[in-house]
Structure 1
Amino acid sequence: MTDSPDKMRNVGGKSAAWLRQVGIRTRSDLETHGAIGAFIKVKKAGFKPSLNLLYALAGALDDCHWQQLGSERREQLLAELAAQEEALGMTGKPKWGGPARPVTTIDGGDYQDGQGSDHDDDVTPDLRFD
């Protein structure tokens, strides 16, 4: 997470609003539900999250930028998401389209916050953490 207890890495205003609306307001809430559980709650609430939200939440829990998640980790997340959606009866072709597409990853030493990402990775003071 970031230095301030009031901000969560990778979560911008829109994502934070969705999370608040499904009852995820703290880091503890996110840890309880996990990245996949939180993503499914957002999706079941009628929002249309992209996989970037899933990666952002996983990165927040892993304390890294979402683009630093390796392809193996993204594939693991997608497999777990598909399994949970199937178990919940969320049938049909997933709107996210299946296997992970290549995403440019950034090594920790090469990453600098705020450089060149157009993802909703602004930090927001509205999502409080324990």
Structure 2
Amino acid sequence: MHPSQSELLQLKNLGLASVNILHSIGIRTLDDLRRVGPVEAFINIRGRGINASRVMLYALQGALLDVHWNDLDPVLKANLVDEAERQLARKDSA
């Protein structure tokens, strides 16, 4: 499937560039994103050498919740960042 035909493009916060990045880590459907989750997807993106910011992490969570990333609860954003940082630190120390 060509990225421009992806169901991911129908989700809030995800444009063609984001969808291409998701496809590069094997996420091609909403179900894939749900299964992997925003934190693991973000870590996989970073693991491919893509310098994704926290906004990408927020955008992935917002896509799953059908909420603009900027409207996510600040506590949820902080929890996402904490979890991502913990997992990245574990991978760096392994």
TM-score between both structures, scaled by the size of structure 1: 0.62
Count of residues in correspondence between the two structures:
87
Report the RMSD for the aligned CA atoms in angstroms: 1.7
Which of structure 1's runs of 4+ aligned residues deviate more than 4 A? none
Question: Which residue is 1:14 aligned to?
Answer: 17
Instruction: Say if 2:33 and 2:41, in contact at 8 Å, map to a contact too.
Output: yes
Question: Which residue is 1:83 aligned to?
Answer: 86
**Structure 1 position 61 matched with structure 2 position 72:** no
Query: How far has the Cα of 1:14 moved from its partner?
Result: 0.9
Equivalent residue for 2:76, pick from 63, 70, 73: 73
Gaps of 5+ in 1: 92-130
User: Partners in 2 of 1:55 and 1:43 — Cα distance?
Assistant: 14
Instruction: Say if 2:42 and 2:57, in contact at 8 Å, map to a contact too.
Output: yes
User: Partners in 2 of 1:19 and 1:46 — Cα distance?
Assistant: 13
Query: How far has the Cα of 1:32 moved from its partner?
Result: 1.0
Amino acid at match of 2:67: C
Question: Which residue is 2:3 aligned to?
Answer: none
Q: Which has the higher contact order (CA 8 A, sep 6+)?
A: 1
Aligned-pair identity in percent equals 34
The structure with the larger Rg is 1
User: Partners in 1 of 2:70 and 2:93 — Cα distance?
Assistant: 27
Query: How far has the Cα of 1:89 moved from its partner?
Result: 2.0
TM-score between both structures, scaled by the size of structure 2: 0.84
Question: Which residue is 1:112 aligned to?
Answer: none
Give the secondary-structure state (helix, strand or coil) at the position aligned to 1:11.
coil
Question: Which residue is 2:52 aligned to?
Answer: 49
